[in-house]
Amino acid sequence: MKLPAVFDRLVHKAPPEAPRFLSLVLDELYVQSAVWSIGQRDRPVVVKSDTQRLPQDSWEARVEASDQSLTALDEDGSVGDLHKVVLGLSSVYLTASGDIDANVRPHIKALCKELELVAIGFVSLPQAIIHKLKTEEGVPPTVILLSVSDGRVTVSLYKVGVLAGEEAIATDEIVPQLETTLKGWKDVEVLPSRMLLYGTDSEKLEEIKNTLLRHPWPTRVAFLHFPKIDVLPKEFAVEAVSEAGAGEMATEIGEEEIVQSEKGQEVIESEKTQQVEVTKEEDQVEEESNVIMVEPESLGFAKGRDVLEEEIEEEIEEKPKRKIELPKIVIPSISIDRVRGLFDNFQLPIGGLPIVGIFIILLILIGFYVWFIPHATVTVLTLSKVLEETTPLTVNPAATVADAATKTIPGKNQEKVISGEKTTTVSGKKDVGDPAKGTVTIYNKSLSERTFKKGAVLLSGSLHFTLDDDVKVASASESIGSITFGKANGSVTAVEIGSKSNLPAGTEFTFQDISSSVAIGRNDQPLTGGTSKEVTVVSRADYDAFVKALSADLVEKAKTELASGVAGREKLIDATIQSNVTEKTFKEELDQEAKELHGKLTVKVSGTSYNEEDIAAIFKQLVNGKIPSDYTLVSDQTTMKVTDVKVKKDGSITLSAKIQGAALPTLHPEEIAKALAGKSVTKAEAYLRNVTGVAGMEVGFRWWPIKSRLPFNKNNISISIALQE
């Protein structure tokens, strides 16, 4: 007896070794290659991939880079036997209808001939990436793709997996050009809140990403909120092309199994074990599937031939698209009495018992599969109600709770102490050296003995000298017609350093506090030893400059640490930040000869912070009466902008807060799953559209061939709530 195909595969499971294929991505800036095989669920298993940048945008360089990339894959010698390749082409190489440009086709054909490759299909890079995102995320993506190449960015907008617009712009001044492009798509009311950049120049991608993140998108174009902007991994493009190719190759490889399954179905029908009614409609579809099926050739894939050998027709007649639906299978209910009546006059031979047993087991397996195995993920797309308020607020550090009546929110004192060291250049100048010294003879003109004290100042012009020791000089003596002065020698030292105090012999000195008629001085030998030079020393100005520079650095560092140190949604108010130098030490003293000044400062920075959750609480009370019924304010989607911060002399803080929030419909996932169980996709969508605030839905299936109907078991339906973009 021949078993159905499903049992035959379970008993005789001997899968052959999976064949390998090549993928080759061609772009203006780079080429990528990968070798892969078809794994479970028709997903590709990428064995190895490689990327080569082009030195210039020419097909000669592209052929050379492709050869180098394939050579890098061929370390184990397996690539040399592979010739079938799936091409991933940049949008610039394709026409508006999705075919290869007539000017590009000869170059690609020459490349394949040079590298001994057979192009079994091609796919545009954006379409391949969208297909991979849909496979990974379970739902058709709504996203803006940015392909970054050399001097060009190709912008592709997809709505629920369908291309809604595509345009190339220059990388220079990308923000205004991208803004103009997005505004130009008038038929797109709300733009996707996700941008994905891809390419191979990581630095350029990050630069463009950072530029886009700094632009206020929601205030300039039709974004509901600020879009999420990410960069796809470098290998994502070639993996996406492999993913697209794997689906087509799996279809071709699996044809033999499909034929076997059809034969098994014929056996079941011939044995009359089950009645199956198949309904097909050629022109109209009763129920709409969430997946639009297309032929492989429409994606650029061809079976058994080289796609580059085909000629492009000059005029292509556009055929109207038609939604393709899987056949609807109706299994009639079976009455036990009716079954018993069928066998009233029939005696089952002993040999027929195994057939009946297999039939019963098959029914049990089908029932088990239908009830327990299929899973579906339903994403309910909701419409939000945007609520906005602008209100003045007072931040009070003494308050503990937010008060909507007085519009007061608590403030929290923040403090940070930070120390640091620094070395600065010294700029002070000073003369250093030795004073001039020598011996001076002191003449006493008075008639009494006189003692000149140590430190007594002698003058010679503008120069000052001091006695090194006490000098005792005898009185003057008179004789007939003449006076003899008393005299004695004393050592003197110049008050100021420098060579200008080196006076010659015979210089006359006077005392600062004694009249020259009483006493004078004169040197018999020159005064010598006076020297001087200018050196760099630490000055008071150097101290002040050091404190100013280091304290500025420490204050900025403390502000950053203070702002990052606040917990949760706590925000530091910049206008309240104050700093104070609490300690300073210097290695060099004032007037010390030095070239650099080394020191250490300790700074205390303090400020006041507020919590955004307190503002959100006041916002909730302010808009409580404006929220529609069956809607709930979503706290984690509340955004706010604080302006006009003022700190008064008494320490009170006032500010203006512009708050924007979103209210979403109140939905119950368990009730929705129960209501959708067993319904067709069309009826499920119609049911959800009658629910307040629901715009539509997206469905993803696992292990369920009937894509037009949801699983019968409500526990196998996962409900997620998402905002309509």
**pLDDT (tens digit, 9 = 90+) per residue, 48-96?**
888 988 888 889 999 998 988 888 887 766 565 778 888 999 888 888 8
Per-residue pLDDT, 569: 81
Per-residue pLDDT, 2: 43
Per-residue pLDDT, 519: 94
Q: What residue type is assigned to position 435 of the chain?
A: P
Of 334-338, 430-434, 559-563, where does the model show the most confidence? 430-434
Question: What is the separation of C-alpha 702 from the centre of its chain, rounded to a whole number of angstroms?
Answer: 32
Among 40-54, 56-70, 507-521, the least confident range:
40-54
Which band of pLDDT confidence, cut at 50, 70 and 90, is reported for residue 522? very high
Per-residue pLDDT, 725: 65
Which band of pLDDT confidence, cut at 50, 70 and 90, is reported for residue 41? low
Calpha distance 585→420 (Å, rounded) = 11
Q: Which of 589, 552, 252, 298 has its CA nearest to residue 418?
A: 552
Q: Are 597 and 546 in contact (CB under 8 A)?
A: yes
Question: With the CA atoms of 702, 704, 709 and 711 taken in that order, what torsion angle do they form, in degrees rounded to the nearest 10?
Answer: -80
Q: Are 392 and 654 in contact (CB under 8 A)?
A: yes
Scanning the structure block, which residue is given the tokens 């003494």?
Answer: 398
Q: In the chain, what percentage of residues exceed pLDDT 70?
A: 81
- The pLDDT of residue 195 is above 90: yes
- The pLDDT of residue 313 is above 50: no
Calpha distance 230→232 (Å, rounded) = 7
Among 86-100, 230-244, 277-291, the least confident range:
277-291
Per-residue pLDDT, 668: 87
Among 73-77, 147-151, 657-661, the least confident range:
73-77
Per-residue pLDDT, 509: 96
Calpha distance 375→518 (Å, rounded) = 125
Per-residue pLDDT, 556: 86
- The pLDDT of residue 724 is above 50: yes
Calpha distance 122→302 (Å, rounded) = 9
Per-residue pLDDT, 658: 92
Calpha distance 239→35 (Å, rounded) = 10
Per-residue pLDDT, 384: 83
- The pLDDT of residue 674 is above 70: yes
- The pLDDT of residue 295 is above 60: no
Per-residue pLDDT, 308: 55
Averaged pLDDT of the chain = 80
- The pTM assigned to this predicted structure is 0.40
Per-residue pLDDT, 352: 56
- The pLDDT of residue 538 is above 70: yes
Q: Are 147 and 88 in contact (CB under 8 A)?
A: no
Note the pLDDT tens digit of each residue in 373-390.
899 999 998 888 888 889
Calpha distance 467→454 (Å, rounded) = 5
Question: With the CA atoms of 68, 72, 75 and 77 taken in that order, what torsion angle do they form, in degrees rounded to the nearest 10?
Answer: -50
Per-residue pLDDT, 356: 83
Q: Give mean pLDDT, residues 144-163.
A: 88
What are φ and ψ of residue 618, in 5° steps? -65, -40
Q: Which residue has the higher pLDDT, 171 or 290?
A: 171
Which band of pLDDT confidence, cut at 50, 70 and 90, is reported for residue 348? very low
Per-residue pLDDT, 365: 87
Among 20-29, 44-53, 92-101, 313-322, the least confident range:
313-322
| Residue 433: strand pairing partners | 532
- The pLDDT of residue 284 is above 50: no
Per-residue pLDDT, 320: 42
Per-residue pLDDT, 491: 95
- The pLDDT of residue 290 is above 50: no
Q: Which of 123, 36, 114 has its CA nearest to residue 82?
A: 36
Q: Give mean pLDDT, residues 268-272.
A: 36
Note the pLDDT tens digit of each residue in 463-504.
999 999 999 999 988 877 788 899 999 999 999 999 899 999
Q: Which two tokens stand for residue 348?
A: 């089952």
Q: Give mean pLDDT, residues 183-198.
A: 87
Per-residue pLDDT, 300: 42
- The pLDDT of residue 205 is above 80: yes
Q: Compute the residue count for the chain.
A: 725
Q: Which of 545, 576, 582 has its CA nearest to residue 559?
A: 576
Among 207-211, 507-511, 628-632, the least confident range:
628-632
- The pLDDT of residue 340 is above 60: no
Q: Which two tokens stand for residue 28?
A: 């203006």
